[in-house]
Amino acid sequence: RNGDYELAVQMYTKALAEDSSSHTLRSNRAASYHLIGQYENALADSDECIRLRPRWIKVPYYNYMYMCVSMNTRSSVKILILP
């Protein structure tokens, strides 16, 4: 809650070492990854959330958002130079 998302990633990673099946921990770590610009990691955690809890309504939305941001980051230079 204090905005230290790098510390949050560390804490969620530690918690996931104890309970790797927690979709909530994984979703929260994905959000923290997103907030520090680690979009590929956010997407990977979001994908795992979908695997763990496929009917959780918020996961597909966040997964799509992380995917779009990740793709945008990788291809933004190519998009800018297109005619």
What would the two tokens of residue 56 be?
């959780």
- What is residue 77's predicted lDDT score, i.e. its pLDDT? 37
Angle, helices 58-81 vs 23-35, to 10°: value is: 30
Regions in the chain scoring below 50 on pLDDT: 74-83
Prediction pTM value: 0.74
Contact 67, 50 (CB under 8 A): no
Report how far residue 82's alpha carbon sits from residue 71's, in angstroms, rounded to the nearest whole number. 16
- What is residue 70's predicted lDDT score, i.e. its pLDDT? 67
- What is residue 33's predicted lDDT score, i.e. its pLDDT? 92
- What is residue 76's predicted lDDT score, i.e. its pLDDT? 39
